[in-house]
Structure 1
Amino acid sequence: MELWFTEKQTENHGITTKVKRTLHHEVTEFQKLDVIETAQFGNMLVLDGMVMTTDKDEFVYHEMITHIAMNTHPHPEQVLVVGGGDGGVIREVLRYPTVKRAVLAEIDGKVIEASKKYFPAIAGMLDDPRVDVQVTDGVRYIQENKGRFDVIIVDSTEPIGPAVGLFQKPFYEGISEALKEDGIMVAQTDTPWFKPDLIRQVFRDISSTFPIARTYTANIPTYPSGLWSFTLGSKKYDPLEVNEDNLKRFDTRYYRPELHKAVFRLPAFVEALVSGGEE
């Protein structure tokens, strides 16, 4: 008998993968949390039935949500990650020797605990002395910490449940206030195939909050449709104007300096979303 996990990504579409065994299940204060061992992607973290990360393809998401902003800012010292309890973004942030403090504001401490146990390669840097783990509401944390950060990275789930507020203009305005005068933010903004209206609205909100707004994409096979978007807002530095010779090169598996500007060359239908046209 074979066991398969299916994520219903829309009313008419889902993905399915063969499961070897269930490693962990609990219902936290905020969501249903599962860790399953899959045949194709290794361990998989699932929140409320949605795939968050896997052993095999996690590097794409964590590198791409982190390095565009971090490598655009010339001297990032103070960094905030909202969400991201698996620790993957923190791991990538700490590659930068300029970073003095990296705050993780994760609302669900159980996600952090499960990630440390079942995803040590992802969560292994959460105990680094530069990391300040705050089990708290990211929206509230931003409101209480104005003008402190060089880079803020919003590593949220999809806009469901506790993450709904992380896709609204007041949140982006709060981020702007929490950033220093030359700060940069970036957020995951879902897939243009299934959430075109969300991408259109988020880009409109971020571009009306920051003088520079850019959307870019990456391929993540376990996320809905495989094509995933990120939206960056910056007060001063444009990722398209950085000197490529100054970009830091790390032992990464997806991001590299040669991709830094290329990822902003969007497919025509995605460009239409962010330019105010129709999908």
Structure 2
Amino acid sequence: MRFHARVVFYVIEPIAIRKNDLWFTEYQTNAMRLGLRITSILKNIKTDYQQLLVVETEEYGRALILDGALMFTDQNEFTYHEMMVHPLLSSHPDPRKVLVVGGGDGGCVREIVKHDCVEEIYLVDIDEEVIKASLDFFPAVSEGLRDERVKVLPMDALKFIKDHPATFDAIIVDSTDPVDFAVGLFEAPFYRDVAAALREGGMVVAQTESPFVNRDLLSHAFLQMGTVFPRMFLCWGAMPTYPTGSWTYSIGSLGPDPRTIRRSPSARTQYYSSDIHRASFVLPPFIKELLRANLSQ
């Protein structure tokens, strides 16, 4: 999933290119939009928390859309989910207990189960309909939810974290937009609760937007996390359907350096590798300048 404050609506519209032409259009910023030709609408409901849409696209296969923001598609979701998980778990000294906040689609869980050292995985997403939709329409994304190590809890993650101090080795914040029920997941008080829920030497990762069109959002989220965690790092990678195609991942650490690789996933990855791991932490000067005051060297 992704963090995008500006997208609160979407359009499904016919376009006179060929007969019965139907398109999904996401307004990614006030001046930029993404359009995908869709062949069918598989699910379109209003949950207790957001508008949930599943469509079949001609270019990227099936797509999950929440409140008008494109969460992922069949053809490229792996770039995001692998980068949300493997730089963190491949560098943690001993990640036995992992929490995923949000991410009801199960993509991050699928990647976590590739680490044999992990003994318990908790997925906490407030919207049970997202979990159901992924199980129904995205079996390759949600397959990890059936692993015996996984506990799926459709509830408020803020409350869950506060109720579990010093419990987890790693926490992955895979939230939707910072509006309504998710707004508290991107501020310092939440990260203080996250730090309290981590064991000694714990680490957290959160996706933090495009470094090109969402620089203010990136710097704000990084700064908020940096007020809590003594060590801060940023890595980045490709995500074709997100604004500008480049995405960032902020890592807060209570000790370990996420640039140090300690293990590899036990199963196949399509984007992540040891070379990608190392390269993802190499930042261009404009990003370094944006984050300089809070970036660990």
TM-score > 0.5, shorter chain as reference: yes
1:189 aligns with 2:205: no
Determine helix, strand or coil for the equivalent of 1:72.
coil
97, 114, 122: which one pairs with 2:141? 122
**1:62 lines up with 2:81 in the alignment:** yes
Partner residue, 2:68: 49
Give RMSD over aligned pairs.
1.3
Of 192, 217, 224, 1:205 maps to 224
Q: Is this contact kept in 2: 1:64–1:255, CA < 8 A?
A: yes
C-alpha separation in 1, matches of 2:80 and 2:181 = 21
TM-score by length of 1: 0.95
| Counterpart selection for 1:247 from 257, 263, 271 | 263
Query: Following TM superposition, by how much is the alpha carbon of 1:160 offset from its aligned partner in structure 2, in angstroms?
Result: 2.5
Deviation at 1:9, TM superposition (A): 0.8
Cα shift at 1:268 = 2.1
User: Helix, strand or coil: the match of 1:147?
Assistant: coil
Report deviation, 1:206.
1.6
**Pairwise mapping of residues 163-178 of structure 1 onto structure 2 (< 5 A)?**
163-178=182-197
2:281 pairs with one of 259, 264, 267: 264
TM-score using structure 2 length: 0.90
Matches within 5 A, 1:1-279: 1-240=20-259, 242=260, 244=261, 246-249=262-265, 250-276=267-293
Residue 7 of structure 2 corresponds to which residue in structure 1?
none
Which SS does the other structure have where 1:222 is aligned? coil
- Offset at 1:276? 4.4
The amino acid that maps onto 2:247 is: W
Gaps of 5+ in 1: none
Offset of 1:228 from its aligned partner? 0.7
User: CA shift at 1:117, angstroms?
Assistant: 0.4
Write the distance in 2 (CA, Å) between the matches of 1:276 and 1:173.
20
Query: Per the alignment, in what secondary structure is the counterpart of residue 266 of structure 1?
Result: coil
Return the alpha-carbon distance in structure 1 between the equivalents of residues 225 and 46 of structure 2.
33
CA distance in 2, matches of 1:223, 1:157: 13
SS at 1:206 equivalent: helix
Question: Percent of pairs identical after alignment?
Answer: 41
- Note the residue ranges of structure 2 that are not aligned, 5 or more in a row: 1-19
Query: How far apart, in 1, do the equivalents of 2:165 and 2:205 lie?
Result: 17
Query: Aligned equivalents of 2:177 and 2:79: distance in 1?
Result: 17
CA contact (8 A) 1:158 1:190 kept: no
Structure 2 distance, partners of 1:195, 1:167, is 14
Q: Is the Cα contact below 8 Å between 2:187 and 2:225 reproduced in 1?
A: no
SS in 1 for 2:90: helix
Q: How many residue pairs end up in the alignment?
A: 274
Which SS does the other structure have where 1:164 is aligned? helix
2:101–2:125 contact (8 Å) kept in structure 1: yes
